[in-house]
Amino acid sequence: MSTDRQLPPTVGTTEEYGASPFEQWAEWARVDDVVRITGEEGDRYLVTHPELVEEVVFGDGPFAKTEGIQQQFGRGLVAEHGEQWRAQRGAMQPAFIPDRIESYAETIGEIVADTVDTIDDGAVLDLRELFAEFTMEVMVETLFGGSGDDEAIRTAVDRLNEWFLQQNTGGETPESVVSERDRAMKRLVGMIDEMIADRRGGDGDDFLSMLLSVGPDSDANYTDGRIREEVIAMLFAAHETTALTLTYTLYLLSGAPEVADRLHEETQSVLDGRPPGPEHLDELSYTERVIDEALRLYPPLHALARRPTAEVELDGYTIPEDGVMYLSQYVIHRDERWWDEPTAFRPERFAAVDDRPRFAFFPFGAGPRRCLGEDFARTEAKLAVAGLTQQFSFEQLTETFQLRIGGTALPDRPLELRAHGRE
Ligand code: HEM
């Protein structure tokens, strides 16, 4: 071992996260681009420079996913490593090719139209509720051929988030949080097993049928157990992230009428009174910027978590084996070094060519493990935002909120707005 081994500066403890952990992170990040946070459950290392993110995600360093992720998602793609990960990624890829996304976009457009129809002029909308339901329906219809128990999935997502919240804020996790998570997961597993049994030997072409047809006699080794874990991991990767993206986008729009008006102009000219569908996607460029700006300010997956399986060097510091690293989108996306007036909601900033480092913006992750569902999520978000702003303007009812660190970055209260029908 080298003699000049130097740990990153210690800035605080996990117990000090307090009521607004993200602000605390941003403050600690001012000390250096890698800092150390001590905690009973082990030290964590906050990494907040885009080039260091690049070094970790593309490097040959021995970086694994954290135990929390592996514990929850078992042999799912999001938790796997090495050759096994590569084989699974290859096996899942066909569900996300452009032709597939285009056919999903048809279905998503219909779900957007149905959702818009349920909203009355003057209705008060709880954004998380609205979009949890919407994204669930999209997922069930596009990836699972229209079957699945929405309630079982949503409860499991909520309980698991609660558990992640406890894990991330340090201290002991209450027994009730663990048992509720386990109960909800059991119900979810029961549902998936039924779906597997339904499809076995059939000629369906949904995501689950696709994994069954790859099967155990392949490099991906899709046994029923692995398929079950893959489906669970996928539900979590796809659902809450997209629902939160839409929640924060609409929340920001409701506080920025001039952005909402400009967006409305785009939807009027592109959609020309029709419901949004695949044929409109390329032209909805301002819509895309609005979504990017929401993802910058409120990245649903707020940090990539990595665990070195051996001691590594980063920025001249030593990170010990098993020291959990957080590559923080939240902090980097709001860093004045890369963003003017970082807290301002200004979608226009994505219009200009810029000289920011490559990973000053990485809401979908970075490197080989970048989000597999990015095109899917972008398609879904664009169609939903376009469909809603085509018909409504939004009045903000919840003015402020705090972010909580769960598995995702969650608002600490319902975010509400009033929808006003546009003439
Ligand atoms: C706006 C919504 C979404 C956001 C912000 C998001 C973000 C991310 C991020 C940051 C990662 C990398 C995690 C890491 O490196 O530790 C990731 C991975 C992944 N995402 Fe997404 N995601 C979204 C939607 C989706 C959707 C809709 C799907 C599927 C339909 C999906 C499937 C996946 C999968 C399978 C992985 C694992 C990739 C791998 O490890 O090779 N995501 N996502």
What is the pLDDT, as a whole number, of residue 377? 98
**Interatomic CA distance for residues 373 and 59, integer angstroms:** 23
User: Residue with the nearest Cα to atom 27 of ligand 1?
Assistant: 238
- pLDDT (average), residues 57-73: 83
What is the pLDDT, as a whole number, of residue 168? 62
- What digits encode the pLDDT tens for the residues 119-139? 999 999 999 999 988 998 898
For ligand 1, which residues put their CB under 6 angstroms from it? 77-78, 89, 234, 237-238, 241-242, 245, 300-301, 304, 363-365, 369, 371-373, 376-377
Bridging pattern class, strands 124-126 and 312-314: unpaired
Whether 147 has a pLDDT exceeding 80, the answer reads no
Residues with a catalytic annotation lie at: 241, 364, 371
- With beta carbons less than 8 A apart as the criterion, state whether 412 and 283 touch: no
Q: What is the DSSP string of 152-213?
A: HHHHHHHHHHHHHHHHHT-SPPPHHHHHHHHHHHHHHHHHHHHHHHHHTTS---SHHHHHHH
User: Residue with the nearest Cα to atom 43 of ligand 1?
Assistant: 371
Q: 419: CA distance to ligand 1 center in Å?
A: 30
- pLDDT (average), residues 396-404: 93
* 312: nearest Cα among 62, 37, 2, 10: 62
Q: 210: CA distance to ligand 1 center in Å?
A: 19
Q: 236: CA distance to ligand 1 center in Å?
A: 9
State in Å, rounded, how far the first CA of the chain is from the last one.
Answer: 71
Q: 272: CA distance to ligand 1 center in Å?
A: 33
User: Residue with the nearest Cα to atom 29 of ligand 1?
Assistant: 373
- pLDDT (average), residues 259-278: 96
- pLDDT (average), residues 271-284: 95
* Ligand 1 atom nearest to CA at 85: 41
Domains for the chain: give ranges and CATH numbers.
Answer: 10-418 (1.10.630.10)
Whether 4 has a pLDDT exceeding 70, the answer reads no
- What digits encode the pLDDT tens for the residues 196-251? 888 887 888 888 889 999 999 999 999 999 999 999 888 888 888 999 999 999 99
Whether 3 has a pLDDT exceeding 80, the answer reads no
